[in-house]
A and B are shown apart, each in its own frame.
Chain A
């Protein structure tokens, strides 16, 4: 609902300004920055011209042990998308920072090969030369035939817009985690199957060998062994060893802590339900259960009958055999599910970041407006929770329930949060040198959450080491752990403002490293950072997750990040270490704080120039805070909401020269322009939310039709007034398609009566009855010449006082007079808006204004009730009308619109949750007039 036209008004035309500045300024989160070079004919989306691909895409790559890094597939699977962009080269880049080449063979102290359940790593990479920036999600799949049984893969979201990656990091991370989880689930299943087959093969081989040996023994009565026999015996021994090894592997894969997935409502066949790993971990700690879950056996026991083969003693050379494809690795079902998820990601993040952010903000804001949002919004789509919300909610719960020690800690922040304070925008380029901190600076760093960013950069320069394999331009912009412990205030804090993005970015040679190194450089995935030191030492290169269940210490640490002073030192260390990591996490998240009642200082620090131009683009907004008070504390140490790169000169010195019409164009078709002029986003407008894509299309069409309607019909205003004031509008016509089109067009003006579907009936052929007007506020009605048709008309004539009738055939309208001003703004037939979706947004913004007026009107106590007991009713009525006319500035019939909306708000509010409010029909005895074209 926060739409472009609303914002556009800020920028242009001298005479417009005066009007605008008389009104109170918009909350800052609604505004978008002016584009400084607009006057020079450039457009704001032309900034990154260097990239060679036309739109964002997802790339899956593998570090093949045979050929090295190679791209596997892109989504969308279209050659045009990647264009001249060198996928091979980029694959090399992104795979070469993979930290988790993890483990090879037998870990020290272990007789058998050990599987490692490695967390995915999530990093942001930039290749400025290519103009490409990527969110890279590394994951490891198991393959019995692969070296060390692992196959490193990565999924990358590649965009030309660095801000987009950074600002959507959380969302990307959450979405890709789901995809990864899906892949890995399938992979574990496939791997287990493979192991079972292999075991059967081995078993069979052993039997055969054994028989042969026995036969040889019998045949051989010489008393000594032939070399042949010795060979056979060796072979048998090696097979036996292999069996034991494989059995061990099978046990390991089966003992993968499945319960955590299950407990967090994870369903193996529904990748959408796969939750964030941290989430799962949290659940696990809530209820540690025995390792032998029936569920996991269920998953693996289903094995088709298999005829064992004899295994040759010497297996083929590894370069001779063909490695399994990703599809084979993961089971076709899971593979397609993953692809679906990736397509879903691609659609979700399509389009300009500005659009995505605005959409997120407006969704979050709308969700808070629980009193009014049902009126003109599709509430069902608001109900859908973004992933991070679930995840945080879970955390909050987990914390409360789990650790008594935490309770007193979390109480304090609770109060802070309930102040309604929101996070201000915090953004930085977080590159953490964990190693360094571990060594010497631990105490300092635990406080230095707010320390100078430059310092950190220094660490960075000082600490870059490791084998640099491809020397140039990979920039490690930021990384994240997926946030296991954002439970204390430091975790929400972040580094203060970076002086400039250039300083923040540091060239880091990409390198092939063992995991420990890269963890520190690239920052981390959550569990690793949380593993106690001693545990780490025993498995230096990878982390086995198995000990989760029996390591109480670790659990405690994970969820008691802020420990009281009495806690042992080493725990303290770990928690500090953890807090550092959490800083990383928070750094990547822009926080927004729309605090209407009491603007926090950081809001004030946003760079607003005297002319009121706001230069900060909308920031990702986290909706969860308010609803989950107490679940996690507020951050109190965030100094300011500045985004370093947003202070970039690009946004400064905004010239305001764009002509009115071109403004309209801009607002009209942001995505169009952006795709035409740059690579930064997509040709298609970005769908705000995948769930409402259909809705999006519908809106677009409805907006287009509505636009046509207001241009074609000079009496559009009274018709729209009828809808807004709750008078049922009947669209009468012979042609069903035409009537339905009109109904669709007009439906965007119909306020909802409750959380149910819109009170719109597209097509009715039977005579209308009073009950219909209660239920529907917009009806398409068939006109026929038959006798039945006469009945239909008689009914219309009888109930004409409740109806406005739009005759689509003769182009007439019979309805009450409208002399207000609101509808004129809503439906100006000379509007410059050309696109349906833009017009839809325009309508939404004006309707939102109306909603807010209705809200004010409804909830002002003294407007409805006498101040003192002696006050006569008339003075209350007078006050009410004065408020409507003077304070809200409503003219004539506009009053009725607001009154009707207020009535709906009241009904909605006082309605008992369980029972649907009785539908009532309100009407006025007002004369109708006949309008003709």
Chain B
């Protein structure tokens, strides 16, 4: 296509290398997203999207503005101004039963060292806290305890009224990069290479007082922990910058399994070490993790890996799922997986079971990864190193969404309503199922006709 446009001959060198990324072609019958709405409202990179309720979501980014959107119509409900610097964390906080009607709040933390609580119904700022010594980098709401935690250079516990209940001592200058709730009133915080387990305990004197205690420090990771995700009540998973994936027991905080460099070519005997050295750490960093009961899905460098918790091994992978780093992945209910990347594209994958073929040549990881090998389609959909008796899986690309002109930071899956993606090009795009939208419009049309009384024959 581009070659045709440019007119052949002088083809830029860089373009040829892209051929290693699987492409799906122009005909994407399984891609339901045939309609899009561009939502404009931000003036800088949009980094966060959070769902508020069934049809609303909030977006936030480097311009310090929080926007509330209607996911069905794409209408901007509110533009919340309050932060002077970029927003570093955002968390939804819907009220518990204590209140008569459900109140939707969102908490945002910003580089201006403030945290603001917003009311999503009125679009007003409920409260603002500005007593932080450092930027809050992560926010977690413990719905069960009706408290929320902010993680910066220290960990603070707040109640709904924004009273500071307790805080830890200064942990590190780098600060807490991720927080996850664990059973038994525990939280795991990723602080640099360490994983610290805190426990919240009732303070004796006050009715609503909590104490936070450091319970354990886990130092199994070689490099900074980038991603932290809770799989179920028994398990949580961490991923680090150099590509370690560790599965932890959520109750006793022991290492259940670890996959070190499982995407790395070093597992294969035929890999030359010098090639490995040239690999930049970015290529193997675990950017994002998501999971369902069965699998953990890891966005590692440009690739996507599916790790089976039961078998404790990677069952399928797509080494170069995107042209550059995958920033966010999410599992859909229908065995589909969506990933977005710095290359500005969003891809929809499906985990499929492959018919066992006898004597299938296992492609070499090296060639596969670097794309120097023969353009073997099978190789691209590589299903890797399976034991003989287990079914083979592979990730099939079923569609891609191209719209953003810059890195897609995050996306939010709204089920039937579609998919919202946010990007460094300051835009949010709402991808919708064209068929469904069309029939919804028909419905609205006939409702309006009936309303206007145009359905009756005028006499």
Does A923 contact B27, Cβ atoms closer than 8 Å? no
Give the distance to chain A from B255, nearest Cβ to Cβ, in Å.
Answer: 44
Contact flag A794-B2 (CB < 8 Å), given A918-B73, A920-B36, A925-B399: yes
B6, B344, B404: the one contacting A793 at CB < 8 Å is B6
Give CA–CA (A732, B7) in the complex, Å.
13
Does residue A67 face the partner (Cβ distance < 8 Å to B)? Answer: no
Minimal Cβ-Cβ distance residue in A for B448: A910
Would you give the 0/1 interface string for B417-448, flagging 1 where the beta carbon is closer than 8 Å to chain A? 00000000001010010100111011111101
Does residue A20 face the partner (Cβ distance < 8 Å to B)? Answer: no
B34, B35, B427, B443: the one contacting A864 at CB < 8 Å is B443
Contacts of A865 in B (CB 8 A): 442-443, 446
Does residue A922 face the partner (Cβ distance < 8 Å to B)? Answer: yes
Does residue B275 face the partner (Cβ distance < 8 Å to A)? Answer: no
Contacts of A909 in B (CB 8 A): 445, 448
Among A732, A918, A919: residue with most chain B CB under 10 A: A918
Does residue B38 face the partner (Cβ distance < 8 Å to A)? Answer: yes
Contact flag A920-B37 (CB < 8 Å), given A928-B26, A930-B4: yes
Does residue B74 face the partner (Cβ distance < 8 Å to A)? Answer: yes
B26, B74, B404, B458: the one contacting A918 at CB < 8 Å is B74
Does residue B28 face the partner (Cβ distance < 8 Å to A)? Answer: yes
Does B37 contact A926, Cβ atoms closer than 8 Å? no
Does residue A799 face the partner (Cβ distance < 8 Å to B)? Answer: yes
Interface range on chain B (Cβ under 8 Å from partner)? 35 or more
Would you give the 0/1 interface string for A793-820, flagging 1 where the beta carbon is closer than 8 Å to chain B? 1111111110001010010101000000
Contacts of A930 in B (CB 8 A): 4
Does residue A569 face the partner (Cβ distance < 8 Å to B)? Answer: no
Give CA–CA (A283, B291) in the complex, Å.
76
Give the distance to chain A from B218, nearest Cβ to Cβ, in Å.
Answer: 44
Does residue A858 face the partner (Cβ distance < 8 Å to B)? Answer: yes
Give the distance to chain A from B339, nearest Cβ to Cβ, in Å.
Answer: 18
Contact flag A418-B458 (CB < 8 Å), given A903-B438, A906-B441: yes
Contact flag A801-B402 (CB < 8 Å), given A419-B459, A922-B34, A925-B31: yes
B2, B7, B34, B405: the one contacting A924 at CB < 8 Å is B34
Give CA–CA (A323, B73) in the complex, Å.
73
Does A910 contact B441, Cβ atoms closer than 8 Å? yes
Does A814 contact B458, Cβ atoms closer than 8 Å? no
Would you give the 0/1 interface string for B23-44, flagging 1 where the beta carbon is closer than 8 Å to chain A? 0011111010011111010000
Does residue B403 face the partner (Cβ distance < 8 Å to A)? Answer: yes
B7, B402, B441, B458: the one contacting A799 at CB < 8 Å is B402
Minimal Cβ-Cβ distance residue in B for A419: B459
Does residue B5 face the partner (Cβ distance < 8 Å to A)? Answer: yes
Give the distance to chain A from B26, nearest Cβ to Cβ, in Å.
Answer: 4
Contacts of A810 in B (CB 8 A): 7
Does B1 contact A771, Cβ atoms closer than 8 Å? no
Does A797 contact B2, Cβ atoms closer than 8 Å? yes
Give CA–CA (A928, B27) in the complex, Å.
9
Does residue B214 face the partner (Cβ distance < 8 Å to A)? Answer: no
Would you give the 0/1 interface string for A764-795, flagging 1 where the beta carbon is closer than 8 Å to chain B? 00000111001000000000000000100111
Does residue A420 face the partner (Cβ distance < 8 Å to B)? Answer: yes
Does residue B17 face the partner (Cβ distance < 8 Å to A)? Answer: no
Does residue B233 face the partner (Cβ distance < 8 Å to A)? Answer: no
Does B2 contact A770, Cβ atoms closer than 8 Å? no
Give the distance to chain A from B64, nearest Cβ to Cβ, in Å.
Answer: 23
Contacts of A899 in B (CB 8 A): 438
Minimal Cβ-Cβ distance residue in A for B30: A925
Give the distance to chain A from B11, nearest Cβ to Cβ, in Å.
Answer: 11
Minimal Cβ-Cβ distance residue in A for B24: A925
Does residue A921 face the partner (Cβ distance < 8 Å to B)? Answer: yes
Give CA–CA (A856, B31) in the complex, Å.
29
Does B445 contact A906, Cβ atoms closer than 8 Å? yes
Contact flag A770-B458 (CB < 8 Å), given A796-B5, A907-B441, A926-B27: no
Minimal Cβ-Cβ distance residue in A for B344: A798
Interface secondary structure of B, over-half rule? mixed
Does residue A861 face the partner (Cβ distance < 8 Å to B)? Answer: yes
Does residue A41 face the partner (Cβ distance < 8 Å to B)? Answer: no
Minimal Cβ-Cβ distance residue in B for A796: B5
In the complex, which residues 14-45 of chain A have their Cβ closer than 8 Å to any Cβ of chain B?
none
Contacts of B25 in A (CB 8 A): 927
Give CA–CA (A606, B402) in the complex, Å.
59
Minimal Cβ-Cβ distance residue in B for A420: B458
Contacts of B173 in A (CB 8 A): none
Give CA–CA (A795, B445) in the complex, Å.
36
Contact flag A923-B5 (CB < 8 Å), given A864-B442, A864-B446, A910-B444: no
Among B25, B441, B459: residue with most chain A CB under 10 A: B441
In the complex, which residues 269-284 of chain B have their Cβ closer than 8 Å to any Cβ of chain A?
none
Does A925 contact B26, Cβ atoms closer than 8 Å? yes
Minimal Cβ-Cβ distance residue in A for B441: A906
Minimal Cβ-Cβ distance residue in B for A924: B34
A732, A790, A800: the one contacting B1 at CB < 8 Å is A800
Give CA–CA (A927, B26) in the complex, Å.
5
Minimal Cβ-Cβ distance residue in B for A906: B441
Does B445 contact A921, Cβ atoms closer than 8 Å? no
Contacts of B432 in A (CB 8 A): 920
Does residue B53 face the partner (Cβ distance < 8 Å to A)? Answer: no
Does A918 contact B28, Cβ atoms closer than 8 Å? no
Does residue B292 face the partner (Cβ distance < 8 Å to A)? Answer: no
B74, B444, B446: the one contacting A861 at CB < 8 Å is B446
Does B28 contact A925, Cβ atoms closer than 8 Å? yes
Contact flag A793-B2 (CB < 8 Å), given A770-B38, A909-B448, A926-B27: yes
Does residue B220 face the partner (Cβ distance < 8 Å to A)? Answer: no
Give CA–CA (A910, B439) in the complex, Å.
13
Minimal Cβ-Cβ distance residue in A for B399: A925
Does residue B75 face the partner (Cβ distance < 8 Å to A)? Answer: yes
Give CA–CA (A859, B450) in the complex, Å.
12
Minimal Cβ-Cβ distance residue in B for A858: B445
Give CA–CA (A923, B37) in the complex, Å.
12
Give CA–CA (A732, B434) in the complex, Å.
29
Give the distance to chain B from A46, nearest Cβ to Cβ, in Å.
Answer: 46
Does A910 contact B445, Cβ atoms closer than 8 Å? yes
Give the distance to chain B from A373, nearest Cβ to Cβ, in Å.
Answer: 17
Contacts of A903 in B (CB 8 A): 438, 441
Give CA–CA (A864, B26) in the complex, Å.
28
Would you give the 0/1 interface string for B336-354, flagging 1 where the beta carbon is closer than 8 Å to chain A? 0000000010000000000
Give CA–CA (A930, B344) in the complex, Å.
26
Does A921 contact B4, Cβ atoms closer than 8 Å? no
Does B443 contact A793, Cβ atoms closer than 8 Å? no
Contacts of A807 in B (CB 8 A): 5
In the complex, which residues 413-455 of chain A have their Cβ closer than 8 Å to any Cβ of chain B?
418-420
Contacts of B31 in A (CB 8 A): 925
Give CA–CA (A861, B34) in the complex, Å.
24
Give the distance to chain A from B9, nearest Cβ to Cβ, in Å.
Answer: 13
6 contacts between A and B (CB under 8 A): A797-B5, A814-B1, A865-B443, A919-B37, A921-B38, A925-B399
Other CB < 8 Å A-B pairs besides A770-B38, A770-B405, 14 of them?
A418-B458, A418-B459, A769-B405, A770-B427, A790-B12, A796-B5, A800-B1, A801-B26, A858-B445, A864-B446, A865-B446, A921-B36, A921-B38, A927-B26
Binding site for A on B (CB under 8 A): 1-2, 4-7, 12, 25-29, 31, 34-38, 40, 73-75, 344, 399, 402-405, 427, 429, 432, 434, 437-439, 441-446, 448-449, 458-459
Binding site for B on A (CB under 8 A): 418-420, 732, 769-771, 774, 790, 793-801, 805, 807, 810, 812, 814, 858-859, 861, 864-865, 899, 903, 906-907, 909-910, 918-928, 930
Q: Which 9 A-B pairs have the closest CB atoms?
A: A864-B442, A797-B2, A925-B28, A906-B441, A927-B26, A793-B5, A910-B444, A922-B35, A770-B403
